[in-house]
Structure 1
Amino acid sequence: MAKIKRIITTLVRLLVLGAALSATIVMVTSHDSAEVLNLSFDAKYTNARAFVYFAITNAIASGYSFIALFLSFSTPLWHLVFLLDVFMTLLLTSSISVALAIADVGKKGNSHAGWLPVCGQVPEFCDHVTGALIAGFSAAVLYLVLLLFSIHAVLNPKP
């Protein structure tokens, strides 16, 4: 039974690593330019602090997931891994929430504040951001599943 738990946990960590790394790469490579009223502007992920936070958070989650792949269930560090899994789940959840809020404003605008939607002018940028958000949401959900496995491993350390 312990071997099955280890295999499932490793598989989920690999999926999280792939999803978080994909979210980071897609967000970092998202850029587009447009010309409006003879003024050109560039849309990059660095223009919105929420997208920067999202990219950094997913990069941290990728690195942590990679390191956690090499830790054993039987080491005393596993309790630290559990705490870091909780932290990563919360971090990814907060980053996807804030990035989704900014993406929604970019797509729909805000008539009360007078903000116009920008996705009509920079569709490639919006498509990249959408892809990154899907991968980031997948990473957050997978981390929640991983957290449930970690809780089970901490509460039932014996096979």
Structure 2
Amino acid sequence: MTFAKRIPVFLVRLLALGGTVTAIVVMITSHDSAQVLGMTFEAKYNNSPTFKYFVVMNAIASGYSIIVLFFPSKNSLARILLVTDTIMTLLLDSSISACLALGQLGKKGNSHAGWLPICGQVPKFCDHVGGALIAGFAATVLYFILVLYSFHNVLNLYSLKA
């Protein structure tokens, strides 16, 4: 791959790394407390396994991005990059989907189960989680673009051999 073709891929991977790191930092720093009926409760990201999963998946994607950024790009590795980019995209997508479900529950509650919304009591926490999800979603979209690019490279690689 020529140097001119590697620059956009490098920039997209760098932006994806920035998105995952931002999502981690914003999620980890999300905390707020509220008093309800004379009792104080604290909302933190590590109170929920879903938010922990989100942080772990973004950390894995960040580590993968760092490795791939400094890995020499060769045509023989195109299929491996396609598979690993796809796996990273799916892991990030699954973590965001789980967090969006939990975020919706925190924002609206569930009247059928008797769960009350909590975002009215801890708005700072909910805003931080929302920001982390936006950064994570942006990283996921960038990884999807990388999957499309990797797929394009694999198709070109095999069309040249045929």
- Using the size of structure 2 for normalisation, the TM-score is 0.92
Structure ranking higher in helix proportion: 2
Deviation of the 1:70 alpha carbon: 1.3
CA RMSD of aligned residues (A): 1.4
User: Distance in 2 between the 1:72 and 1:152 partners?
Assistant: 18
Deviation of the 1:80 alpha carbon: 2.0
Read off the aligned partner of 1:36 and give its amino acid letter: V
Deviation of the 1:75 alpha carbon: 5.8
Q: Which residue of 2 aligns with 1:51?
A: 51
> SS where residue 32 of structure 1 aligns?
strand
Read off the aligned partner of 1:21 and give its amino acid letter: V
- Using the size of structure 1 for normalisation, the TM-score is 0.94
Q: Which residue of 1 aligns with 2:31?
A: 31
After superposition, the Cα gap between the structure-2 partners of 1:55 and 1:103, relative to the gap in structure 1 and judged at 3 Å, is same
Matches within 5 A, 1:1-159: 2-74=2-74, 76-157=76-157
Once the two structures are superposed, residues 89-141 of structure 1 have per-residue CA deviations (whole angstroms, 9 ceiling, x without a partner) of 11011010000000000011011111100001001100100000000110111
Structure 2 portions without partners, runs of 5+: none
Give the paired residue count. 158
Q: Which moved more, 1:147-156 or 1:36-45?
A: 147-156
Once the two structures are superposed, residues 21-55 of structure 1 have per-residue CA deviations (whole angstroms, 9 ceiling, x without a partner) of 00011001111111100111110011111111011
User: Distance in 1 between the 2:52 and 2:5 partners?
Assistant: 35
Say whether the 8 Å CA contact 1:108–1:116 is kept in structure 2: yes
After superposition, the Cα gap between the structure-2 partners of 1:71 and 1:153, relative to the gap in structure 1 and judged at 3 Å, is farther
